[in-house]
Amino acid sequence: MRISYREAMRQALREALANDARVFLMGEDVGRYGGSYAVSKGLLEEFGPERIRDTPLSELGFVGAGVGAALGGMRPIVEVMTVNFSLLALDQVVNSASLLRHMSGGQCSVPMVLRMATGAGRQLAAQHSHSLENWYAHIPGIRVLAPATVADARGMLAPALADPDPVVIFEHAQLYNLEDDLLDDWRCDIARAAVRRPGTRASVFAYGGCLPKALQAAEELAASGIDVEVVDLRVLRPLDIDTIAESVRRTHRAVVVDEGWRSGSLAAEVIARIAETCFYDLDAPPARVCSEEVPIPYAKHLEDAALPQPAKIVAAVKELLNV
């Protein structure tokens, strides 16, 4: 069955709501409007206003309400329109949700899922377009996921809701219209990275909205006789260093693609782990393809220039191979 990333997310939400009375969805415009990216469209009519709850425009307030509901035994799914707006709720995530199981000595937990759109490419300018996944991946006590395929969009929510700790799911806004066949094996764990394309000459690591670009770059490289492996990180905290290291040991070269800024990026962390784990397996220094160190521009040609693109990934791989 061929469906969109958006519909896969909607199916996952519907299944969670139908299977567990403790689950409810809350956030700005998730009800009557159907979600800012139409993911929750139709769920209000199906499950009612007690389960699909529109909230005031206060991320600090409704994320905090989600923390309280989780502490009280519910399974809240809290939607924030965009990662930029989630900064208003960082106190609830960093100083409450992520700490409470540790600070209570395991007496309580916060089984909450926090969903948010991330990424650029839609000409929404700087306040709606940044990729701050690395900020969340820095925080102990939470799990951070970045589904990049229709199957992962469908399969990651259920295990996230079963996790006793908060789980943050980043949905790249450029992926909502992505369509693919949803096969029977769409269920997945939320602990392992995934090899999306095997190869031998270099490993390209990507996640979220950069995965399609990495796969496109791999196709272009294959046309010129360069066979690269593409690994979807997909679990940003905790990083699956075993899968990362296995890939590097096969190919002996690594390129990390990250829509975050280069300075302090998730790409930097991945490269540090590679250096710590398999330094002597490398035949060349690892490379990064990141966003330019500027606020994401509004103008389309500048936005494209600021972001990782397939051509930049191709160039980085060729530089590693000296071709």
Per-residue pLDDT of the chain (323 residues; tens, 9 = 90+): 899 999 999 999 999 999 999 999 999 999 999 999 999 999 999 999 999 999 999 999 999 999 999 999 999 999 999 999 999 999 999 999 999 999 999 999 999 999 999 999 999 999 999 999 999 999 999 999 999 999 999 999 999 999 999 999 999 999 999 999 998 889 898 999 999 999 999 999 999 999 999 999 999 999 999 999 999 999 999 999 999 999 999 999 999 999 999 999 999 999 999 999 999 999 999 999 999 999 999 999 999 999 999 999 999 999 999 99
Joined tokens for residue 213:
């670009």
CA atoms within 13 A on the CB side of 35: 26
pLDDT at res. 252: 98
- Say which CATH class 2-181 falls into: alpha beta
The answer to whether residue 59 is catalytic is yes
* Domain span(s) for CATH 3.40.50.920 in the chain: 194-321
* List 7, 59, 171, 269, catalytic entry: 59
Q: Are 82 and 118 in contact (CB under 8 A)?
A: yes
Tell me whether the omega of the peptide bond preceding residue 198 falls within 30 degrees of 0, making it cis: no
What's the rounded Cα separation, in Å, for the pair 232 and 212? 10
CB under 8 Å, gap of 24 or more: what pairs does 176-179 form?
A: 176/4, 176/5, 176/6, 176/9, 176/37, 176/38, 176/39, 177/4, 177/5, 177/6, 178/4, 178/5, 178/149, 178/150, 178/212, 179/2, 179/3, 179/4, 179/5, 179/150
Instruction: State the catalytic residue, choosing from 128, 130, 171, 259.
Output: 128
Domain with CATH 3.40.50.970 in the chain: 2-181
Task: List, in order, residues 6 or more apart from 41 with CB less than 8 Å away.
Answer: 10, 34, 35
For residues 12 and 159, what is the distance between their CA atoms, to the nearest angstrom?
11
pLDDT of residue 1: 83
| Two structure tokens written together for 93 | 């995530």
d(CA 97, CA 87): 14
Domain 194-321 belongs to what topology?
Rossmann fold (3.40.50)
The whole-number pLDDT of residue 172 equals 98
| DSSP letter, residue 98 | T
